[in-house]
Structure 1
Amino acid sequence: MFEPVSLRGGEFLMGSDRFYPEERPVRPASVNAFLMDATPATNAQFAQFVMQTGYVTDAEKGGSSHVFVMTGGPVDLRQPSQWWKVVEGACWHSPDGPTAGLKHNPEHLDPDFARLPVVHVSLQDAKAYARWCKGQLPTEAQWEYAARGGLVQADFAWGNVFTPEGQAMAHTWKGSFPWQYSAENKRPAPLAVGSLPANGYGLYDMIGNVWEWTLSPFDLREQTQCPCSLPASDSRLWTLKGGSFLCAAEYCLRYRPAARIGASHLTSTSHIGFRCVYTDGPNLRTRV
């Protein structure tokens, strides 16, 4: 069990001028003190929420969700529909769909599944969970401040070298997207939260593993093609941060604090999760 991390807040430089257009320009931003969950919300935590409230996710109501499926070889990366498939029955407790494996019972989760970040959650689902635990989703500024871990304009959450001294610091795509995967776990999927080192603030999985919802609208400035995202069907988009296990350096170098993409509030996929922040109450203590 990871305890929430208390962050002092303050001014910082947000965005980046070195990568994708939607991250520009670098500008000053500030946030007040807040607590943030040390990891993305897990299946175990979401199961507790569901058991106590009877909540039904948007994916369950709609009967399907988007699941990433590897292609048989190289494909045109301008066509995300080649690796995103709508799968009936795919939802948070059956992330690959009911025919791909065992449906997980919220009351008796497999321990390995319990530690994975919950996915197939829409923005509305994430907000409902946050209300239940007396928190909220972070704004984009809060999220990016936290992800930077106290570093100033570093490319990554731990510095400017992706794998310092050969050590993996984030769970991202390994191989040639979307058809060749060379990681030890043999298939592209989330890792248990906290499997890789924390950043300078003690926060895990801020980069890679799963994209995370924020409360901030995504402006409609030009966005470069991101092969790990879905085409938006809604004119109003919301900001996702952090990148995921599907981000590949050659086409989606978005596993960085400044990186951002937009998604419809109803978007539900196998690579989007969330974490909560807390800004009120007696437990708010500035980090020293």
Structure 2
Amino acid sequence: MGDAHGDGIPADGEQPVHPVTVPGFSIDATSVTVADFRAFVAATGFRTDAERYGWSAVFHLAVTDPDRIAGEMAGTPWWLGVAGADWAHPGGPSSTAADDHPVVHVSWNDAQAYCAWAGRRLPSEAEWECAARGGLASRRYPWGDELPEDDWLCNIWQGEFPGRNTAADRYVTTAPVRTFAPNAYGLYQCVGNVWEWVHDWFSPRYYATSPIGDPRGPALGAARVIRGGSYLCHDSYCNRYRNAARSSNTPDSSTGNMGFRTVAQSISEG
């Protein structure tokens, strides 16, 4: 587990590389979709953090309602707070989320609520990385070490960030969850497309003391780990579309590029 190539930055805590074992587990082949989340909301009446707060963070090129912009995010002016942006309206209140795309504008709290309803849970960070690697130890990506420029294997940014996306991979924002080839374990888009919440609290120092057996992260923290990068990743800004890459956000935060996938509570016998 960890960055074997020196690609990350120290503040992300991707090193040292360390051995980890995890018990067998069953994980979703895709991120949770808009259709999945819609069924949850229909069954429970759940309101997400974004809906309760009245706004969420939308990438500037994805805004559909410029008159609903409340302001820029500090330090990242390409992120705009948009009133009425939520899981069903990812660009603003006039937009509509496509059912086969990953659900976004969901916080860690929202993901936990979905898991409780579905009888599932968020993966640990170690489980997530094990699944994303697809059996390819120490490789950068789910398919190997190189990113072909003429054969797009994931949904990331092309062009000059943050103003011009050529959409060479066909997508400016999210792609349907089964776009591009799956890894050797059958998982789609573990890197790129959307960041995925995992269970663990974040600490950049945790890998130095992490246990070998089934690590579950620090006991306490201020932010939860997100993994996999998103459609906004670009080497000039954020090269976190890698198996080892990690970042974090506060549990009540929501943006247009964060989703999640789930793990079974236990593996059924037989």
Q: TM-score, normalised by structure 1?
A: 0.79
Question: Structure 1's 266 and 134: CA in aligned 2 closer, same or farther, altered over 3 A?
Answer: same
Work out whether 1:258 is the aligned partner of 2:244. Answer: yes
Find the partner of 2:43 among 18, 36, 52.
52
Aligned to 1:162: 147
Contact preservation (8 Å) 2:155, 2:169: no
Identity percentage of aligned residues = 40
Instruction: Report the Cα offset of residue 273 of structure 1.
Output: 0.2
Find the partner of 2:116 among 131, 136, 144.
131
Q: Deviations over 1:202-243 (max 9, x none)?
A: 10010100000000111045xxxxxxxxxxxxx701110000
In 2, Cα distance between the equivalents of 1:248 and 1:17? 17
Work out whether 1:244 is the aligned partner of 2:252. Answer: no
CA RMSD for the aligned pairs? 2.2
Secondary structure of the residue that 1:214 maps to in structure 2?
strand
Instruction: Report the Cα offset of residue 70 of structure 1.
Output: 4.0
Find the partner of 2:133 among 138, 142, 148.
148
Contact preservation (8 Å) 2:157, 2:231: yes
In 2, Cα distance between the equivalents of 1:211 and 1:37? 15
Instruction: Report the Cα offset of residue 185 of structure 1.
Output: 7.9
Aligned to 1:93: 88
Secondary structure of the residue that 2:76 maps to in structure 1?
helix
Q: Deviations over 1:227-265 (max 9, x none)?
A: xxxxxxxx7011100000000022211101100001100
In 2, Cα distance between the equivalents of 1:150 and 1:116? 26
In 2, Cα distance between the equivalents of 1:41 and 1:184? 25
In 1, Cα distance between the equivalents of 2:177 and 2:170? 18
Q: Deviations over 1:16-49 (max 9, x none)?
A: 3511222111001111111100000000000000
In 2, Cα distance between the equivalents of 1:26 and 1:162? 22
Contact preservation (8 Å) 1:41, 1:118: yes
Secondary structure of the residue that 2:198 maps to in structure 1?
strand
Contact preservation (8 Å) 1:171, 1:245: yes
Question: Structure 1's 185 and 172: CA in aligned 2 closer, same or farther, altered over 3 A?
Answer: closer
In 1, Cα distance between the equivalents of 2:78 and 2:171? 14
Q: Which amino acid aligns with 1:145?
A: C
Find the partner of 2:56 among 55, 59, 65.
65
Contact preservation (8 Å) 2:103, 2:259: yes
Contact preservation (8 Å) 2:31, 2:102: yes
Contact preservation (8 Å) 2:191, 2:243: yes
Q: Deviations over 1:49-72 (max 9, x none)?
A: 00011111000000000111149x
Question: Structure 1's 80 and 185: CA in aligned 2 closer, same or farther, altered over 3 A?
Answer: farther
Secondary structure of the residue that 2:19 maps to in structure 1?
strand
Q: TM-score, normalised by structure 2?
A: 0.84
Contact preservation (8 Å) 2:26, 2:267: no
Question: Structure 1's 80 and 199: CA in aligned 2 closer, same or farther, altered over 3 A?
Answer: farther
Structure 1: gaps spanning 5 or more residues: 1-12, 72-78, 105-112, 222-234
Find the partner of 1:196 among 162, 170, 180.
180
Aligned to 2:14: 23
Aligned to 2:99: 114
In 1, Cα distance between the equivalents of 2:163 and 2:237? 13
Tell me how many residue pairs correspond in the alignment: 243
Instruction: Report the Cα offset of residue 148 of structure 1.
Output: 0.3
Instruction: Report the Cα offset of residue 82 of structure 1.
Output: 1.1
Contact preservation (8 Å) 1:14, 1:26: yes
In 2, Cα distance between the equivalents of 1:123 and 1:262? 11
Structure 1 segment 72-87 matched on structure 2, within 5 A: 80-87=75-82
Contact preservation (8 Å) 2:158, 2:167: yes
Instruction: Report the Cα offset of residue 281 of structure 1.
Output: 5.1
Aligned to 2:211: none
Contact preservation (8 Å) 1:33, 1:279: no
In 2, Cα distance between the equivalents of 1:186 and 1:37? 24
